[in-house]
Structure 1
């Protein structure tokens, strides 16, 4: 159990997308499994080790999703699911299946996303804990957005918001859940849904709500939300404000985070296409050339 407690504080990853994080998380999962053969252990210890191995594999899966390496993400998912079953840990099962729902949403398979997210939402610990229920519903809202279901997205967001308000902050919860899920993440998922639905004023509202409550260390989330805000402003025709917003994305996120990089590339194409000789298009070109150039 001393090894289990030591590993508990090494399993959460707050930075997104990089291949190195994915590889390190996978290596930690292997390290945990090696402990299984390092001597005798009680069933309780073995269950904990399988749970931590599943958690590390889940972190590798998330890093691959965030980096748009979906073939690798699916491989991590299969390994994580097997380890989670051997552990019997309901919380890590939720995490893995909820990640799977997000993965399928990103690759444009909303039916599979609903199915995976429903597995997470139907686990008995999800029905007992309003915070887990809220996360499942918030991700369901994002999937409804990808499926272009306005009513479903709005209803799921409202239910997620209500569940989060009912969550007792003093209840014990897994470290990975407490590390990222709060009002800011709830509004971030609503922002994603609203963008998919083409409801850009609502998307901008959720972006500002998310940014106003984000914890300072959540740099990855801040970059993603800021980029999405720029897209929402651009879609409403406010090119100057949108460009100013996009320029606030830190250079490391703009160049090293696959999701952010792609969204900013898509964003930059719009001013150039609409008015290639305008001062705004020129400012954006200069910004990407100067602010994002590799450092030596």
Structure 2
């Protein structure tokens, strides 16, 4: 019997960004969920489907394919036994137009199979996911510039809802649905982080629970890591080191930290910052050594989520080492890490730069250099000093420490006048 290529399946794979191997893996996972046993397909199996050598896969395979694609087997170009499929006529139109027509026909066939006589539902695809990921990059950019703002939290939460609404807006493949859950979890994690950064901890906990549920449905290890790691940071800021260490342990135990040392680096560094609350200098140093070792082993050229930028630069490790040593009272080491972090931070990371500048001022003041510390603190931009909850609180603490250590000095007067000036512009 003459074989006829399955152009419908090829078009679906092209539209959804699947290779033969990735589709085989997705089908194997779907088959395991259906039967309790993983499928045995590989790239050659998919190539046999595309070439037409296998025209009607076994029932378990067909069901798994339908779960993965969201389409009936017939709409994917498979032909039941006993039926014939004629070879397609030679292409006479533009190939791109033909592909678009074919993909549109697949969606229409799926709708007709599900509900004859009704209009075709909207097809949700990776282009929708790409649009959401672009919006996520915008949220991250806003966080780097401003951080902690209620507006960022609200926008991120609204975009999480938008990603979830797409789940019910039309048909989609399993890959697209998982990606939509990942997008929703990403936005919720940013809402969570904005609430943490703005010291709105009750709101952060609500976002955290929603983000954790969405991340589980997505199966995205990177976003799971981000959420649990943020949970550790939240509990650290709340002064609950036991909970912070436990949350960090969940993040550090994820498979992604073994697959990519850059995630391991970030996990160890955040653990070090939390251990700073316990006063265990040896444990902090061990964690920082592990973080540095992981950073040295990491391939910095790999594509990673946009929120990993500071970790990939090494700036995040220096920032968290600064926080840990400042907590321990190792002020000379804290100052050294502060200078390195400020050198490594990208220009757009204005929020982190403001925070680390205040930390540097604290380290200098603790070493008895009130003049240098005050000059450093005065470098913090007025908008960060007045509009960012963490920065404002840290500057208030700096002012109190300065008055306590240099009471009545001209430096204190200079700081009081400066602080009054930027408060007046708030």
Provide Cα deviations, 1:162-204, integer angstroms capped at 9, x if missing partner. Answer: 1111111222322221365431111110000001111111101
Q: Compare 176-185 and 190-199 and name the one that shifted more.
A: 176-185
Asked if structure 1 preserves the Cα contact closer than 8 Å seen for 2:300 and 2:312, the reply is no
Asked if structure 2 preserves the Cα contact closer than 8 Å seen for 1:135 and 1:181, the reply is no
Alignment of 1:138 with 2:269, yes or no, is yes
| 2:136 partner SS | coil
402, 411, 416: which one aligns with 1:271: 402
128, 142, 153: which one aligns with 1:3: 128
CA distance in 2, matches of 1:167, 1:37: 39
Using CA pairs below 8 Å that are at least 6 residues apart, which structure has the higher relative contact order? 1
Choose between structure 1 and 2: higher helix proportion.
1
Instruction: Tell me by how many angstroms 1:148 deviates.
Output: 1.2
| 2:390 partner SS | helix
Structure 1 or 2, whichever has the larger Rg, is 2
**Which residue matches 1:237?**
368
Q: 1:181 to 1:63 in 2, by over 3 A?
A: farther
Asked if structure 2 preserves the Cα contact closer than 8 Å seen for 1:187 and 1:207, the reply is yes
210, 217, 227: which one aligns with 1:79: 210
| 1:11 partner SS | helix
Asked if structure 2 preserves the Cα contact closer than 8 Å seen for 1:200 and 1:232, the reply is yes
**Which residue matches 1:221?**
352
| TM-score of the pair, normalised by structure 2 | 0.68
Alignment of 1:97 with 2:222, yes or no, is no
Q: How does 1:1-296 map to 2 (within 5 A)?
A: 1-12=126-137, 13=140, 14=144, 15-178=146-309, 181-294=312-425
| 1:291 partner SS | helix
**Count of residue pairs brought into register by the alignment:** 295
Stretches of structure 1 that go unaligned for 5 or more consecutive residues are none
Asked if structure 1 preserves the Cα contact closer than 8 Å seen for 2:370 and 2:406, the reply is no
| 2:424 partner SS | coil
CA distance in 2, matches of 1:63, 1:86: 23
Stretches of structure 2 that go unaligned for 5 or more consecutive residues are 1-125
Asked if structure 1 preserves the Cα contact closer than 8 Å seen for 2:311 and 2:317, the reply is no
Extract structure 1 runs of 4+ deviating beyond 4 A. Answer: none
Instruction: Tell me by how many angstroms 1:94 deviates.
Output: 0.5
CA distance in 1, matches of 2:211, 2:201: 15
CA distance in 2, matches of 1:212, 1:258: 24
